[in-house]
Amino acid sequence: DADVTQTPRNRITKTGKRIMLECSQTKGHDRMYWYRQDPGLGLRLIYYSFDVKDINKGEISDGYSVSRQAQAKFSLSLESAIPNQTALYFCATSEKDLRSNTGELFFGEGSRLTVL
Amino acid sequence: AQKVTQAQTEISVVEKEDVTLDCVYETRDTTYYLFWYKQPPSGELVFLIRRNSFDEQNEISGRYSWNFQKSTSSFNFTITASQVVDSAVYFCALIGPNDYKLSFGAGTTVTVRA
């Protein structure tokens, strides 16, 4: 089983619908992240959390919200989905500060969301 | 602000050819870390290497090698004797001491044909 699991892996929804993407991890890491991948733009950070009580906006948080239900769970919600939120979404974890000598991100397999 | 440029959008090679992926970065920080990640067709990004700004030694790991040159702000990645399994999207990324996030390049898609 994957250490970082995302559900659903694929989802098609309609404009205006609320959608939740879930992420759970078995790595025991405190730090969790949600990224969005768009062709030609690389990965952009939506939200991140360094522990259960800590939630921080990333560079593209508008239109999204998150919930850190437990150390192992970090959910991303689109309150009212719009077509330009069609993208591949990644959850990631890290044990240590990415600015440290051993910090690195561990990614889930991605959730492909299509908003019609 | 940090910026990472991967000018090559797509590269296609025949198996056993060498392929070099360019990564050029912009930062005002003197301390920073550079990363390469691989995204195979399955989708999950896989960490390949981290390099801190004080270590300009080149690194080799099997068929993979990295050339870090601060003078040209580049951290290029070479796959020697490419194989079909090397087909993937490769991302270069950077983080500085005051950053909360990695700044990713747009990625380079490598296709290795048999």
Of B42, B91, B93, the CB nearest to A109: B42
CA end-to-end distance (rounded Å), chain A: 32
Q: Does A103 touch chain B (CB under 8 A)?
A: yes
Interface list for chain B against chain A, based on CB atoms closer than 8 Å: 4, 9, 33, 35, 37, 42-47, 50, 52, 91, 93, 95-97, 99-102, 104-107
Q: Supply A99's token pair.
A: 């600015």
Give the 3-state secondary structure of residue B37.
strand
Angle at A71 between CA A67 and CA A73, to 5 degrees: 50
Cβ contact A61:A45 at 8 Å? no
The pLDDT, as a whole number, for residue B3 is 93
Q: How many CB atoms lie within 10 A of CB B111?
A: 14
What is the rounded distance in angstroms from the CA atom of residue A85 to the CA atom of residue A92?
19
Per-residue pLDDT tens for A81-99?
Answer: 999 999 999 999 998 888 8
Please name the member of A44, A59, A104 whose beta carbon is closest to the beta carbon of B47.
A104
Which residues, other chains included, contact A73 with Cβ-Cβ below 8 Å and sequence gap of 6+? A22, A23, A24, A25
What percentage of chain A reaches a pLDDT higher than 70? 98
- The residue among A66, A36, A38 whose CA lies nearest residue A52 is A66
Summarize pLDDT for B42-81 with one digit per residue, the tens. 889 999 999 999 888 888 889 999 999 999 999 999 999 9
